[in-house]
Amino acid sequence: MFKHILVPLDGSKLAEAALPVAASLAQTLGAPVTLLHIIEQDAPQEIHKDYHLTQADEASAYLKQVAQRDFPPKIQVDSHVHTAAVKDVAGSIVEHATREFQPDLIIMCTHGKSGVRELLFGSIAQQVVAQGLTPLLLIRPDSRISEPFQVARILVPLDTGPIHDASLPITQELARAYKSSIHLVTVIPTFRTVSGETAAASSLLPATTSALLEINVENAANDLQEHLEELKNVDLPATAEVARGDPATEIVNLSEKLRVDLLVLTTHRKAGTAAFWARSVAPNVVRRARVPILLIPLEQSEK
C-alpha cells in the first residue's frame, strides 16, 4: 500500500497541520517519509502570515528540525530542498514524485497562495492531483483530528460503476492497519437535487427521470451488498447505506453524524486544472468536510 510518504512543506504553520497525520501513518505502516520544500521564484516574504522559506540553507535547516521534532526516532525521515527557483510549485512536486521519489502517498494541507478561503480551487493541492496519479491526503488546518491521529472509522462514498471501486483496496489496507470499521455510502440524487444533463432531462421527462432514479437506488443497494460480503470475507467490519439528496451535502453530513476519522474519494483526472472538478462532488466535500480526505486519482482513460 503506502510504502513511502511525501510531505511538501512551505514553512508555514498551516502546512504543518499535515505532520501529525504523516507521523501516524509512517509509524503505523512502517513507511519512510520524505519532507520536500520547493524554492518558489519571486516568492513573497510571508505566506499565511508566517515567514516564507526562500533560501536553500534555511529551508534545509527547517526540514531537519521538523524531522527531529515531529517524528519518532524509529521513523526514517529524509529531506530534500529543490534549490532552483520555479514558478510552478505544483508541477515541481509532481515531477519529484513521479521521477525521483516515487511515493505511494502525498500529504498536504489544503491551502493555496491566497489563503485557506480558496482551498483547492486554483491551489497547489488541486494541481498536484490533476497532474499526477499519486494518492493525495488532504488535511484542513481546522480538521477534527484525534491526538495522536487514529483511524477508528472510514467513510467511503462510492459512485455507481466499477471505476470508483478503486478506493476499496486502499481502504481495506488502511482499515486492517488501524483496526478500523468501514462505512460505505452511495448517494442517489432526488428529483429535486439532480444536476447536469440529468437535471435538463428531468424537466422534459419527469416521470422517466424519477423511475431511473429509483432504479439507481436499487442497483446501488445491490452493489453495496456485494461489497459488504467481500469485506466480511476478509474479516473487516463494515456497514453500508444508500442515501438520497445532494451527494456532497449527504457525504459531509454523514461524516459528521458518524464522526469518521477519514474520507476516501476517487477523483477523475481531466485535462487542465480548470476542468479538473467538472461534474465532481469532490470540491464541495473538501470545502465542507472537517476530516482528512484521501483522494485517489483515476486514470484519464477511466471516465
Read off the DSSP letter of residue 299: P
In this prediction the pTM is 0.86
Q: Is the pLDDT of residue 215 over 50?
A: yes
Residue 77: its H or E element: strand 77-86
Report which of residues 51 and 95 the model is more confident about.
Answer: 95
pLDDT digits (tens, 9 = 90+) for 166-211: 899 999 999 999 999 999 999 998 877 766 555 545 555 567 778 8
What the chain holds in terms of domains, given with CATH numbers, is 5-139 (3.40.50.620), 153-298 (3.40.50.620)
pLDDT category of residue 13 using cuts at 50, 70 and 90: confident
Please tell me the distance from the alpha carbon of residue 251 to that of residue 247, in angstroms, as a whole number: 6
What is the Cα gyration radius of the chain?
20
Model pLDDT, residue 106 = 95
As a whole number, mean pLDDT of residues 123-139 equals: 80
- What's the rounded Cα separation, in Å, for the pair 23 and 21? 5
| Residues contacting residue 285 through CB under 8 Å, at least 6 positions apart | 157, 248, 251, 252, 263, 265, 293
* Distance (Å, whole) CA 16 – CA 112: 14
243-249 mean pLDDT = 92
Mean per-residue pLDDT of the chain: 83
pLDDT band for 131, please (50, 70, 90 cuts).
confident
